[in-house]
Structure formats: structure tokens, C-alpha cells
Amino acid sequence: MGQENGSVAERTEMRWNGWGDPAKATSLPRSVRALLPLLLGRIRTPAEPVELEDVRLDASALRPDDLAAFAEIVGHDRIDVSDDARIRHAGGRSTPDLLRRRRLHQEAPDAVILPGDHEEVAGVLAAAADRGVAVIPFGGGTSVVGALDPERGAHRAVVSLDMRRLTGLLRFDPVSGDAVLGAGTSGPDAEALLGAHGYELGHYPQSFRHATIGGFAAARSSGQNSAGYGRFDTMVTGIRVATPTGDIELGRSPGSAAGPDLIRVFLGSEGIFGVITEVRVRVHPIPHERMLESWTFPDFDAGLEALRQVVQQGGGPTVIRLSDEAETAVSLAQVGRIGKALSRGAGVVTVYEGAGVEERRARTAALLAAAGGTSAGDSGAEDWLDGRFDGPYLRDSLLDAGVFCETLETATTWSNIPTLKAAVTAALRDGLTGAGARSYVMCHVSHVYPTGASLYFTVLAGIRTDPLEVWAQVKARANDAIIAGGGTISHHHAVGRDHAPWLEQEIGETGVRILAAIKRELDPTGILNPGAVISDRVR
């Protein structure tokens, strides 16, 4: 196992007030625009977005001696206090984040610091702790739960610690089937570097093009291929972390009974315990065979039962997704099939990769057909595969057209899915109706397990008052419904600041005390990501 000097491509800067590559931003498709009045009625014309040069930020709260101390660690040219850099690190990419980007006066970190290696990360944390400066670890900027808000907490200033320089394939071991990647390596770069050796990680969340390896670990991400390759946390075999009180490197061997598994403490910790700098992951040879097939079911419940049978049998698709009737309709509308979009029915997408795809497809197809499904060929699955990373662009164009659009997700057991889906849907619809807004709620199942599955909701609404205020109340109702209905407060979006008030109801008061104790030990002055996950319980 030797050192790899793999280079990575120059990272495309995401839109400062939207999702992804600015060159890919697009107007609302005509087919969707035609469908919206049928779903939401008359849409209010939104105000024009604020231009970047018109945004006003408060002056940086960092003193000259602060900047000098950080510069001694990373170099003067790796500290950026420009308004442009600060606003680009002012939050993630949730709908509330983007609505806040439309304001003239905005909150932002006091500086952006770009360390070049693990030692520089550790040095920045030590200096920040000494100086009472909060630190927000920043990977690809794709958080949708408020994890990147420039929250100072009890500190006098806050910096964004941008990990983009900690990139590359650091070690690769084809015999063992694992690799070490810098935490700042983006999803596409990771796959390109591994692909040069004939291997892949195979982790493809919707944020894939911009999110990073460290972000996948810190948020306990789940990718679209999870049915075949598992969640990201199951891929992690080792981790290196810098904390304000010392470094930790974990994962000596692939199996151990040497006490509790400390790797899992940092997976999902969202930077509140330390900053992940390297991640060791299991990898597999690039699959050279792929088959796709779409299916239709009379309704969501029939499709759900079919998915359960497929998953519990095992050895099925790499990807299996079920869209409810509402989401299936909008998906058809996006490709111009308005007539079909107004009909009922639930759609399933299946993708098979690797060895034995024909046998796996045939076995799965028999189960789906026996459960009431009808094969629709491969065109629908190809449409999904071609556009699977582009959903957020549609969200942005809806916002530009005056339509509120946001997502939330949860997971529960197979037997509880129908009840939980109904409860969350009702909470969303009732909350928006109470605010005088017509809404359209869609849902899909995209991550499956032998005992249960995820539920991913997309909400469209014609909100006529302050959408941030309305959504805060509606999201709280939905979160209450999730907890009361036996779901998890987050399946793969993480906790951040948005879900933190509900964490104790999921893991209990003792669970929160355990996490708070770990934070006090590793981050005694509380500089790391104040307000995220558990910080309201940490003094």
C-alpha cells in the first residue's frame, strides 16, 4: 500500500444563491409551468433576487492579531475576509438558506480559512480555542439542515474552515479493497481517482457532484445505490480527526472488539466533536454490466409491498425507488407527458449493476409482477438515471417562479410506513392550509432495508406571506408528526441546527448527555459548530 499522488480537478464554485454549477441553472420547464396552476392555483410573482454586489455584511469581527495568528498556521494567502468568500460560506443549500440569500443584509462568517493538511487543521482549532473563535467545518456546502450557519454561539467571532485543499487519493490497497481519501475530495474526484485503478466507491447521493468525502462521513450520508452498496457509514473502515484537545486515528483492522466503535462516534457528528481530515473506505471494482427497468403499480401501497418482498428476499437491484402517485405525476410532467401526469399510479425504478445482473433482474421482476406491477421498459429508469443529480436545479427554478419547494425525510419499519406517511403528509398539508397556502405533497422510497425503508417528501406550495416564517411552523409540525409516528428525525440529511430540538425525543435525555460529555471532552470551549446537533445542551 503506497502513497498516491492523484490530482483532482479544479472545483466548480457553486452558485452563491442557488444550487450547483451556475452554467446549469435553467428556467422552469414549460411542461411543469403548465401543471403548476392545476396544483397550486395562481402563483404570486416573487421579488427580484438580490445581486451579489448589493449584499451587505457586517464587518469582520476578527482582530488583526487573530488574522496574524491564523496566518502563521496556514499562510496569509489562505485566509479570505472578502465579502464574496464570506457570503459563499454563509450557509448550505436548503430552501430557507436560499431564501435568506435573497435578503440585502445577511449573516456570514468573519473569514474563510483554507488549511492544507491535517496539521494545519489542528493548528487552526488550537488557535481558535485560545482566541474564543467559533469554527464551522465546510466541505461542499450542500447541507440542507442548517449545519453551515455562521453561528458564533458564546464566541466573539466565527470562521468557516474550508476543506477543499485536503484532497486526493492518499493510499490505495487493491488487495484489501480499501482506499484513504482526503476529506475535502469531492464525489466526482473520488470516483475519478479510484476509477484510474479500475475501482469505485459507488456512493451517489443527489449532492454527489459537489459534496465531499468528509461531508459524507460527517452527515452519515446515504447514496442512491444504497440498496446495492450500503450507506456511506457502512463503507467507512477508518478515519482521522483533528479535535481541539488532540488528534485521533481510528480503524486499525476491519474487525475489532476493542471496546465501543469510536469511528461511529464521528460518523454523523457534523463537526461538533472534531474535523475529519481523512477517511478510509472500502471500494470495489467498477461494474461493467448495467440493466434498468421501470415498473408501474396501481398505487403506492401495492408498490410498497412489492419493494418489501424484493428487499427481504435479498440479492436484488443496486437501486430501487418507489414514487407515490403525486410524485409519479410530476415526474411524467417533467418529460412532457401531461396527459399521463394527470392519471393515477405509482412508479418504480430499478437499476442492476455488477455480476449476475440478468439473473437478479429476472428474480426481482418475478416478485414485482406477482405483487401487481407492470413493466414499463427501461425508458423511465433511463430518464431518472440521466437526471438524478439535477433535482435541486428544478427547485431553484420553482423558487424563481414564486413556488415554495422544500424536502424532508425520515425512515421507519415496513409495517409503519403507511401510517407515518399519512401523518407527515397531513401535517404538511394542514400546516400550509392554515397559512393560506395551497400545497402539493409528494413522497418516494429510495433507501431500503430488510426491516424498513426511508420516506422522502417534496413539498410545493403557493405561500403568499413570509415563506421562512410559514415553513418554520410547518416543518415543526412535520417533525412533531415524525417523532410521534415512530420515525427518525433524519434518515440521511443529518441533524444540523434545524433538527436539533427534536434529537432528545429520539435518543433520550441519557443519549444527549452522552453526546454532550463527548463534546465537553474533545471541545471544552465549545468552538466547533455552535448550535448544531446538541449545542443547546452544552454550556
3-class DSSP string for 54-113: HCEECCCCCCHHHHHHHHHHHCHHHEECCHHHHHHCCCCCCHHHHHHCCCCEECCCCEEE
pLDDT at 341 over 80: no
- Which pLDDT tens digit goes with each residue over 492-504? 999 999 999 999 9
How far is Cα 150 from Cα 158, in angstroms, rounded to an integer? 7
Domain with CATH 3.30.465.10 in the chain: 169-285
Backbone angles phi, psi at 152, to 5 degrees: -85, -25
**Residues in contact with 259: Cβ distance below 8 Å, sequence separation at least 6, in sequence order:** none
**Grid cell 474550508 in the structure block, residue:** 162
Task: Please enumerate in sequence order all residues whose Cβ is within 8 A of that of 356, keeping only pairs 6 or more positions apart, or say none.
Answer: none
**Each residue's pLDDT tens digit, 352-365:** 999 999 999 999 99
| pTM of the shown model | 0.95
Please state the separation of Cα 473 from the chain's center in Å.
22
How far apart are alpha carbons 93 and 99 in whole angstroms? 10
Give per-residue burial for 217-247: e unless 16+ CB within 10 Å, then b. Answer: bbbbbbbbbbbbbbbbbebbbbbbbbbbeee
Long-range pairs of 253-262 with CB within 8 A, sequence gap ≥ 24 = 254/176
One-letter amino acid for residue 200 of the chain: E
pLDDT for residue 509 is more than 80 = yes
Check pLDDT > 50 for residue 422: yes
Distance CA 157, CA 314 (A): 51
Alpha-carbon distance 455 to 450, whole Å?
15
Burial class (CB in 10 A: 0-12, 13-18, 19+), 298: middle
Asked whether the predicted pLDDT for residue 516 surpasses 70, the reply is yes
User: Residue 5: is it exposed, middle or buried by C-beta count within 10 angstroms (0-12/13-18/19+)?
Assistant: exposed
Q: What is the CATH T-level fold of the domain 169-285, as seen in this structure? A: 3.30.465
Is the distance from CB of 442 to CB of 346 less than 8 angstroms? no
Euclidean distance between CA atoms 412 and 482, whole angstroms: 9
Cβ atoms of residues 256 and 238 within 8 Å: no
Q: pLDDT digit string (tens) for 116-151?
A: 999 999 999 999 999 999 999 999 999 999 999 999
Q: May I ask the CATH architecture of the domain 290-484?
A: 3-Layer(aba) Sandwich (3.40)
Higher pLDDT, 403 or 1: 403
- The rounded distance, in Å, linking the Cα atoms of 427 and 477 is 6
Higher pLDDT, residue 129 or 31 = 129
Q: Average pLDDT in the 446-453 region?
A: 97
DSSP 3-state of 290: strand
Percent of the chain topping pLDDT 70:
95
Q: For position 343, what pLDDT does the model report?
A: 53
Instruction: Assess contact for 136 and 529: CB atoms under 8 A.
Output: yes
Q: How many CB atoms lie within 10 A of CB 3?
A: 11
Mean pLDDT across the chain: 94
CA distance 471 to 427: 12
pLDDT at 471 over 90: yes
pLDDT at residue 337 greater than cutoff 90? no
- pLDDT tens string 233-274: 999 999 999 999 999 999 999 989 999 999 999 999 999 999
Q: Centre a 10 Å sphere on the Cβ of residue 64 and count the other Cβ atoms it contains.
A: 7
What would the mean pLDDT of 153-182 be, rounded to a whole number?
Answer: 98
The 10s digit of each residue's pLDDT in 299-335 is: 999 999 999 999 999 989 999 999 999 999 888 766 5
- Report, as an integer, the average pLDDT of 162-181: 98
- Name every residue whose Cβ is closer than 8 Å to that of residue 51 and which is 6 or more positions away in sequence: none
Nearest CA-CA partner of 323 in 315, 331, 313: 331
Mean pLDDT throughout 201-219? 97
* pLDDT bracket for residue 276 (50, 70, 90): very high
User: What are the distances in angstroms from CA 174 to CA 2, 69, 192, 282?
Assistant: 11, 42, 16, 10
Q: How far apart are CA 153 and CA 159, in angstroms?
A: 12
As annotated, the residues of the chain forming the CATH 3.40.462.40 domain(s) are 290-484
Q: Is the pLDDT of residue 525 over 80?
A: yes
Query: Which of 47-51, 179-183, 392-396, 479-483 is predicted least confidently?
Result: 47-51
Looking at residue 1, its pLDDT comes to 35
Q: Which of 49-53, 142-146, 409-413 has the lowest mean pLDDT?
A: 49-53
pLDDT at 339: 43
Short-list 458, 320, 313, 475, CA closest to 398 = 458
Chain segment 91-112, per-residue pLDDT in tens = 999 999 999 999 999 999 999 9
